Structures are given as C-alpha cells and as structure tokens.
A and B are shown apart, each in its own frame.
Chain A
C-alpha cells in the first residue's frame, strides 16, 4: 500500500489508530514527489525539513491528544499565493523574487494549529491569472493523466499534486474557477466556498470582490473536513462573514431524496465537448435515481458573465497590483528616476498575461471608459446575482459542467487570450454572485481525460452542495481512478 495514495479521512483514521505515523506518511509523500515531480512539475518550493519536523511533532501530539483535528499529521500542499511565514512565496511571478513572508495567512495559521504538515508550495498561473498554469514565470505544470496536457488553472499545481498523490490534500484559491476548473481537468474534488466563508487575509490579492480560498481533495468527505478547518470569521478580513460554521462532515450522508436539482439550458452551449454534455446528463440521471428531482430553471444573463468578469476582475487586479512598485519588497530595476524605476521594475517583473490584465483593467477604469465598461459590468453583475436568487426559489442546487472541454493541450490556447478566457464560462458566474460551487469527477472522455461536474449552491449552503456531491460519489467509482505515472 502506497501511503501517499490515502485520502485525508483514511490517513487520519490510521494515524489515530496508530497504524501509521505522520513521519512515515510524510516520508511516503516526499518519496512520491521524488518519483514523479520531474514529470508533473506541480511544486515550486518543497519544505522537506520543516515538514518532517512538523510530522514528528504531530506524532507526539497523536500519542495523547484524542480530540485533535482530523488534519493532525496530514501532509498538505499549498498554492504559492498563500503567505507562509519563513517559506518562500512567489505567486509564480518574478516580481516577488524570493519573497519571504513575515507572517502566515489566516488559513495557514489554522492548518498549523490543527497540526497539519505543509509539504510545499504549488505552481500556478502568475498571480492566479490563467486557466492552464502555463502563465507561471517558472515552468508549466503538466496534467498527471496526460503529460502533454494542461492541468487547468490557476491552481494547476495543487490539482496535479492531489491527482498524482504528491500530497494528501491541498489548498487553492478561486477567483473565476481557479479551484474548480483544474480539479475537473485533473479528476479531483475542488470546492470554492461562499464569498466570506473563509478568510482571505494573507492571500496575495487578485480580484478582492471574488477571491476565495478552498480545498482540493481526493474525495468529497476530505473537502468537507478541510473546509471545516479553514472556515469562519476572521477579524483580520472585514469581508469574512460572522456566521456560525456548520458541521460539514456530519451532514454529508443525509439522503438527497426530494432535493431539487436545477438544470439550465444556458449552461449547455455551442462549443462544448459532446462527451462532457453526456457525462453531466448521466450524472443528473444518477441523482434522480437516488430520489432527487429535476427542475428546469433560467439563468438568462449567463452569456454575459465572461465579459462582466473580465472587466471587474481586471479592474480590481490593476488596482491590487499597483503595490508592486519595487520600493518595499520585490524586484527593483536600476533606473534614472523614480517613475522609470516603477516602469522598468514592473516591465521586468510581470509576465505577458499579467501585463495584459493590468492594461485591460486600467483601461476600463480610466477617464472616459469607466461608465461604459466598469459601471456597466457592475450593473449586469447585479442581474446575474438576481438570476440566481430567482432560480434558487425553485431548486436547492444547480448542476452544470465545470468546463466546456476536458484538459486541452499545452500551448493550444496560450496565443489566443480570448479563447483562454472562455474556458471559464461555467465557473465565473458563481464568483460574480459569491456562491459556493464544487467540482467532482463524473466520467472520462475517449482520450481518458477526466470530466468535471459542477454543483452550485445557495449562499453559505456548502452543506447541501457537499451532500449532493457525496451522494453522487457514493453511487459512482470515478473518484477511485488514478493516473498512471
């Protein structure tokens, strides 16, 4: 038995029964990384020594702490846009260089307090901007199911690491689909919680009105356990919600009988791969067999979501990324005066996609275009949110594909930004409306690439999303399939 292949709940059970130690488990994960990461390239930074020290401490705690978190002693991977004290954080950008965070993100602090073992930092599209992990300033990550294909993005490194058993579970961030689309591409589970459910403090900001932290895991139960550990109000994030956190794992096994599943024709568009459409339809039928009811709903503004998203996200990004000026941290170029120092530092430090988005965001916020683009998009965002509010009168969750296609080839879309943006067509509405949404495996195409099913829920109703996902997972075997590496 390869210990690195265990799920979080399996590993946690074995640790508690003292059948394995966290040190053995952590060694197994590093052995797996040594065997496979020269092919997958999921990690930007490994923290072997610290991880083994944390594992040793966890083994001590496991001896007497019976009420410990299920995360105690579990090796986890973290996307490299979380600040980790004393562990290099790059956001896959040259502008941060070898930035060493002086503090932990709130979510990282929670993992540390729970006794989790941090294996390393995973690759991403620079500043989380992209859908393929190709925009990393260092190297592209490859899909463990087919090394010629993208792992999805931006949390491509975390998705690939979970899929390849290079960790037990991982954290990602999702601004327009960056947890769910790579989860779909790599055949794992990815959950973007409701905006405000999880603290954003210490996450390198991309688009602050949509950024959200979430779990990427081998099954649905693991997603519930990891969400439990990171959810809740944080005084350091004024947008985190002051609401009680339910017990997600406790509600997982409840029946879906009578539950109403919303299906919208707006999510089955031209250009989607036929096998994706068939797999998602099969998944809906499977849930109906388990007692759920299908309701046809309308989300009439869906076709405008991509345009709205790329106005709002780039506007917020252009503002957030103004802080990279080479003065207090990061890359500083030698130049003749202050303005030129800014301009050359940013030119040398940012990659092509980040520059493109800063330019687009600056344009839509600039005098003469602000009303036409930015305010227009914010009004249509209201309409998109209202569509969901209305639809949820008639259903409890909404089912869609996660992505219109399975993972495409590396290099296929990198020269055509607009085509790349359209890979997010099914995921971005949940970010615009702030809703929880999860992707889980629901089949494979003829090339043996995983297909993702997306489940969107009502605000703060992660419990129902997880319950539906769990019911589907229990009725299928997709999550048990592993890539051959």
Chain B
C-alpha cells in the first residue's frame, strides 16, 4: 500500500471535499491502484531533463500580453444572475469571521 486512509482524509480536507466513510475506503483502494501504476515513471532517470514549459511555440512567441484595458460595460445584474444568494448588487456569502 502506498496510500493510507489518513492520507486520503488529509487530501480531502485540502481539496475541500466531504467524503463519506464508504467513499474514503473506495478512494483509498482506487487511488492506491492508480498511484501504483504511476510508479512506472521511476524507471526513467530524469535528473538532467528540463521541465516541460509550453506546448508548441505558445508562450514563447506571444511575449506581449494584451493591454489591460476594460473592453466590456459593467453589468452587475448579468453577473449576479447566477448567484446562489445576493443582496442588491452584492454576492451574499456565509460569515467568514466568527
């Protein structure tokens, strides 16, 4: 086993995912199996290999980013239309500070 149940619980907290006990044990087994498969990468010595940066020439040829100019009109209603909860032109969210 590469992966313990405690580690699955740690990762679920990092990912902000609630898991049931059943999901925890199923994921422990499945992720352990998948990580076992990933071990084949250790067959390759990568000490002198550079990290991949960009596919094709993207990023190298596009050095100039676009000007930081506003191109759209403000439309709070359109942006708030999908909000789970709102108050006038604000998103309403659960309390952050106790």
- A contact residues vs B (CB 8 Å cutoff): 99-100, 102, 194-196, 209-210, 235-236, 238-243, 301, 303-304, 306-308, 310-311, 318, 322, 325-332, 335, 337-344, 346-347, 350, 352, 355-356, 358-360, 362-363, 366, 373, 375-383, 385, 417-418, 421, 432-435, 459-460
* Complex Cα spacing A156 to B15, Å: 28
Q: What 1/0 mask marks residues of chain B from 52 to 74 whose CB sits below 8 Å from any chain A CB?
A: 10111111011001100000000
Q: B37 contacts which chain A residues (CB < 8 A)? A: 306-307, 418
* Complex Cα spacing A421 to B35, Å: 13
Least CB distance, B68 to chain A, in whole angstroms: 12
* Complex Cα spacing A235 to B71, Å: 11
B38 touches A (CB below 8 Å)? yes
Name the CB-closest residue of A to B97: A338
CB pair B15–A318 under 8 Å, yes or no, is yes
CB pair A338–B94 under 8 Å, yes or no, is yes
* Complex Cα spacing A343 to B12, Å: 9
CB pair B83–A328 under 8 Å, yes or no, is yes
CB pair B82–A330 under 8 Å, yes or no, is yes
3 A-B pairs closest in CB distance = A434-B55, A332-B84, A329-B82
CB pair A209–B12 under 8 Å, yes or no, is no
Name the CB-closest residue of B to A336: B94
* Complex Cα spacing A272 to B11, Å: 35
Contact A382-B49, Cβ < 8 Å, known A338-B96, A417-B34, A418-B34: yes
Name the CB-closest residue of B to A355: B17
CB pair B46–A376 under 8 Å, yes or no, is yes
Q: Which among A304, A385, A421 is the interface contact of B44 at CB below 8 angstroms?
A: A304
Q: A350 contacts which chain B residues (CB < 8 A)? A: 17
Contact A362-B56, Cβ < 8 Å, known A241-B62, A339-B16, A418-B33: no
Q: A311 contacts which chain B residues (CB < 8 A)? A: 38
Contact A363-B84, Cβ < 8 Å, known A378-B51, A381-B52: no
Q: Which among A195, A380, A434 is the interface contact of B46 at CB below 8 angstroms?
A: A380
B79 touches A (CB below 8 Å)? yes
* Complex Cα spacing A356 to B19, Å: 11
- What would 17 A/B residue contacts be, using CB atoms closer than 8 Å? A210-B55, A239-B62, A241-B56, A241-B58, A304-B43, A304-B44, A307-B37, A318-B15, A328-B82, A335-B94, A358-B15, A359-B8, A363-B3, A373-B38, A380-B46, A385-B52, A434-B55
* Complex Cα spacing A418 to B29, Å: 12
Q: Which among B34, B46, B83, B84 is the interface contact of A310 at CB below 8 angstroms?
A: B34
B interface residue count range (under 10 / 10 to 19 / 20 to 34 / 35 or more): 35 or more
CB pair A379–B52 under 8 Å, yes or no, is yes
Q: Which among A100, A341, A376 is the interface contact of B81 at CB below 8 angstroms?
A: A100
* Complex Cα spacing A316 to B23, Å: 22
Extra contacts besides A332-B85, A380-B46 (5): CB < 8 Å: A308-B41, A360-B31, A362-B14, A385-B52, A385-B55
CB pair A102–B62 under 8 Å, yes or no, is no
* Complex Cα spacing A350 to B38, Å: 25
B87 touches A (CB below 8 Å)? no
Least CB distance, B11 to chain A, in whole angstroms: 5
Least CB distance, B55 to chain A, in whole angstroms: 2
CB pair B41–A376 under 8 Å, yes or no, is yes
Q: A385 contacts which chain B residues (CB < 8 A)? A: 52, 55
Q: B40 contacts which chain A residues (CB < 8 A)? A: 303-304, 307
CB pair A196–B56 under 8 Å, yes or no, is yes
Contact A99-B52, Cβ < 8 Å, known A342-B16, A360-B34, A373-B38: no
* Complex Cα spacing A392 to B61, Å: 21
Least CB distance, B70 to chain A, in whole angstroms: 13
Q: B35 contacts which chain A residues (CB < 8 A)? A: 360, 363
CB pair B17–A358 under 8 Å, yes or no, is yes
Contact A379-B51, Cβ < 8 Å, known A242-B61, A330-B84, A343-B16: yes
CB pair A347–B14 under 8 Å, yes or no, is no
* Complex Cα spacing A99 to B8, Å: 31
Q: B56 contacts which chain A residues (CB < 8 A)? A: 194-196, 241, 434-435, 459-460
* Complex Cα spacing A340 to B14, Å: 13
CB pair B95–A382 under 8 Å, yes or no, is no
Q: A379 contacts which chain B residues (CB < 8 A)? A: 46, 49-52
CB pair B94–A337 under 8 Å, yes or no, is yes
CB pair A239–B41 under 8 Å, yes or no, is no
* Complex Cα spacing A186 to B43, Å: 37
CB pair B93–A359 under 8 Å, yes or no, is no
CB pair B52–A359 under 8 Å, yes or no, is no
* Complex Cα spacing A182 to B66, Å: 36
Contact A343-B17, Cβ < 8 Å, known A238-B65, A241-B58, A382-B50: yes
Least CB distance, B28 to chain A, in whole angstroms: 10
Q: A238 contacts which chain B residues (CB < 8 A)? A: 62, 65-66
Q: A363 contacts which chain B residues (CB < 8 A)? A: 3, 7, 11, 31, 35
Least CB distance, B89 to chain A, in whole angstroms: 13
* Complex Cα spacing A418 to B39, Å: 14
